[in-house]
Amino acid sequence: MKFQVLDIIPHTKNPVTGDIVSTADRLNQVVETAKAAEKLGYDSFSVGERHAGEFISSSPTTVLAAIAAVTDRIRLHTGVAVLAVLDPVRVAEDYATIDQFSRGRLELVIGKGNEVLQYPLFGLSLDDQWELLAEKYGLLRRLWRESDVTWSGRFRAPLTEETTTTPRPFAGAPRVWHGSATTLTSAALAAKWGDPLFTANAIQPRENYKVLIDHYREEYERYGHDPRYQYLGSGSGAGGVFIADTTQEAKRQYGPVYEALTAARNVPGNNTPFRDIDHAVAEGPALVGSPGQVAEKILTYHELYGHDLQSISLPTTLPFGQQLDILERFAAEVIPVVRASAPTTLWEAADPYGGRPEAAGASEPDAAAVVDAANEHYRNRKHDRSDDAYVYAH
């Protein structure tokens, strides 16, 4: 199994202590967490997108660009990119730019989002959310795969002139996953296109998500798509990850925070039935407990879902140092156990997208090598020519 860290960048007070960090510090924590995740061997880092509520993730492209600039290996994801409210032309441009910055490490997870207030904010009707998503994704696929595109649809002005978005993606169209949380529609859209599915596995009982997953797999087979492209990702509950030496100690430490956050969340259709920590640990998707308990829980879900990518979220109202300790302990004590019992071909040789970053540049000049050579040239000049010292030092 592969592992991802997801931050939808909530910006809320710790409900027990009342502490909250500044907006600038919170955003910088996201970047520092991504750097730590890469160092610890996580496979992917994902940034959410929200346009309402106590979140500061309205510009995931900016955050992902910042992360791309300070990492080298970890794959970059959205979680989710709310394509239904966005312009596909701008999405194609912005995320292709990040793909270039990261040299092919970008993959999108798209969806309609689960925040109803964002639709009127963008002058759109909530009644059209599914049609918006399907139409805009169809255009995005074409923009990343074709040149000189002309197009017309229901929700956007037509492209009457031949359009080629720039920059182009680094090495062909990035992989797109479909986020699925509540209905069969996203699962069906993923299956129609032969794309992978990402189940939220956030607030509902696991059996509800299994219905969506089964529908996706049945439809994927019905469409006759290549099984090599069929992958499944899974979230880990709205409560986040919390690890202690024993499950009892984890519940004692984190239970008051979890229960206070859950009690304050009163959004119809977006509330978890797992209101207390005991219920959440015993039957819900939250990964709270000892390392062994958390690993066993992930593997129990894997038996039901058969997922390839496990996404986790840190408890971001806690002190940042404590969050990083949890991230490190999860990497050291949970990931090896799960990997050994749940192998996957995702991002391996058998995955058609597995070598995308490394394969990039095969059909065009190696941009990274060109930049590195130019920098080395300037560094040499700085040392070899005293009259240039001021220029290159400033």
CB 353 within 8 A of CB 347: yes
Q: Residue 380: its pLDDT value, please? A: 53
DSSP string, 125-192: -GGGHHHHHHHHHHHHHHHHH-SSEEE--SSS--EEEEE--SSPPBTBPPPEEEEESSSHHHHHHHHH
> Is-above-0.85 flag for pTM?
yes
Distance (Å, whole) CA 274 – CA 255: 12
Structure token pair of residue 152: 């017309």
* pLDDT tens for the chain, residues 1 to 394: 999 999 999 999 999 999 999 999 999 999 999 999 999 999 999 999 999 989 999 999 999 999 999 999 999 999 999 999 999 999 999 999 999 999 999 999 999 998 889 999 999 999 999 999 999 999 999 999 999 999 999 999 999 999 999 999 998 999 999 999 988 999 999 999 999 999 999 989 999 999 999 999 999 999 999 999 999 999 998 778 999 999 999 999 999 999 999 888 766 667 888 999 999 999 999 999 999 999 999 999 999 999 999 999 999 999 999 999 999 999 999 999 999 999 999 999 999 998 887 544 333 333 334 334 434 543 454 444 333 322 222 2
Distance (Å, whole) CA 153 – CA 139: 9
Distance (Å, whole) CA 372 – CA 359: 18
Domain borders along the chain are 2-357, 364-394
Distance (Å, whole) CA 375 – CA 373: 5
Homologous superfamily of domain range 2-357: Luciferase-like domain (3.20.20.30)
Question: Which tens digits make up the pLDDT trace of 164-204?
Answer: 999 999 989 999 999 999 889 999 999 999 999 999 999 89
